[in-house]
Amino acid sequence: MQFCAEPGCGVLVARGHCATHTRYTRATYTQAHRWSNTVRWQRLRDEVRRAEPFCRACLAEGRNVLMTDVDHIVPHDGDYQRFWDRTNLQGLCKSCHSRKTIGGQ
């Protein structure tokens, strides 16, 4: 057994990627990485931070925890429209974002 090939993922697999990360092909990951390194993404990310400075998931549980990550509610899977759709973005704290993306929730 070894860890999933996705950087930062701690799921043990026989080889390759875990079920959460197999949806990303190298091309999909590379394209999304390019989009996230643009001024357009920085502006959109800042817009989300201004609009909702607290983690959406924590707020739903009655806790005020500052958001740290901008999350795609529905994974974009390399889809250009879904990646840039503001209504598909939410602010989450590091803990909630990790639980959602790595934990497969």
pLDDT attached to residue 94: 94
- Average pLDDT of the segment spanning 66-93: 93
pLDDT attached to residue 105: 44
Q: Residue 14 belongs to what domain range?
A: 2-101
pLDDT attached to residue 39: 95
| Domain count within the chain | 1
- Cα–Cα dist 102/84, whole Å: 22
Q: Mind listing the pLDDT tens digit for each residue in 1-18?
A: 888 877 788 889 887 778
- Cα–Cα dist 20/9, whole Å: 10
C-alpha closest to that of 23 among 79, 70, 62: 79
pLDDT attached to residue 103: 61
pLDDT attached to residue 28: 63
Q: Mind listing the pLDDT tens digit for each residue in 17-76?
A: 787 776 655 556 677 778 888 999 999 999 999 999 999 999 999 999 999 999 999 988
